[in-house]
Amino acid sequence: MGDYARLMSHRREFFIKFWGVRGSLACPGPGTVRYGGNTSCMEVRCGSHRLIFDGGTGLRALGCELARDLPPRIDVFFTHTHFDHVCGVPFFKPAYMQGTRVEFWAGHLLPERTLKHVLCEMMTAPLFPVPLEVFARSRFHDFPCGTTLRPAPGVVLTTCRLNHPNRACGYRIDYAGKSICIITDTEHVPGRLDETIVEFVRNADIMVYDAMFTDEEFPAYVNWGHSTWQEALRVAEAAGVGVAVPFHHDPDHDDAFLDHLSELASAIRPGTVFAREGLVLAP
């Protein structure tokens, strides 16, 4: 029995797997072996359905796995189209294969720009040798942030505007009575909780949250569009979130430093899990 067939036999399975946890730029090397150097990419399985969030460099390895046992449909949702969140798309094998249909989605763009247009621009010579048109059976969808999507039976995907340059879209996946939220990239205002986000993630089982900086580093990076691991914990606490997952790590934060932050976070809010490549969390 192949992986896909085995998945079909666990129809209520629900989990998130991390394929890339970095922000800004991939940073492989001896200092990032354990948390990983790939940029933003997460897989959420809802029974037999595979949802992908972001197409950073982590998307390449996920694509290789999917290509070995192709599902009939794959949905890729972008939080936004900054380069660290889309640069894996040209290396996503299933997009070149006839055996599946890849649906790409984005909710952050202004009406005069479509997702297809933005990805076409990235895959244009001399930036990239082959154009987007070589994709086999892909479709591109734009939706206004705030829309509720239903990408598969029983899967409810709500969306929320985030505070980020050129805009970004947060996602909440509700399935089988549980929920996982993905909140990246977003900037908070110190001392004032973002009530929109708090309500959006209310009582979620798992919340992935932009933790590019620490509270101590934050003042030097105002208006960069990012938040902190401490704010992740404050939002989680205010919203009754189960597990907070600091994510979108700064490339300058090596394994030793992230271990240190993880210890600090666990002392404040036990159960907090810093995102790392390969991590699987089930609500």
- Residues at the contact surface with Zn ion, assessed by CB under 5 A: 23, 82, 84, 185
CB of 8 to Zn ion, least distance (A): 34
> Which stretch of DSSP H or E encloses residue 43?
strand 41-46
Q: Which is nearer to Zn ion, 43 or 185 (CB)?
A: 185
Supply φ then ψ for residue 241, to 5 degrees: -75, 145
Q: Please name every residue paired with 138 in a beta bridge, in sequence order, or none if there are none.
A: 102
Residues whose CB is less than 8 angstroms from the CB of residue 54 and which lie 6 or more positions away in sequence, other chains included: 20, 39, 40, 41, 42, 77, 78, 79, 85, 86
Nearest-CB residue to Zn ion? 82
Q: Which is nearer to Zn ion, 174 or 277 (CB)?
A: 277
CB of 166 to Zn ion, least distance (A): 7
CB of 147 to Zn ion, least distance (A): 20
CB of 254 to Zn ion, least distance (A): 18
Q: Where are the alpha helices (DSSP H) in 44-82?
A: 59-68
Q: Which is nearer to Zn ion, 4 or 221 (CB)?
A: 221
Q: Which is nearer to Zn ion, 7 or 160 (CB)?
A: 160
Number of H helices, E strands in the chain: 7, 13
CB of 98 to Zn ion, least distance (A): 32
Supply φ then ψ for residue 31, to 5 degrees: -85, -5
Q: Which is nearer to Zn ion, 43 or 54 (CB)?
A: 54
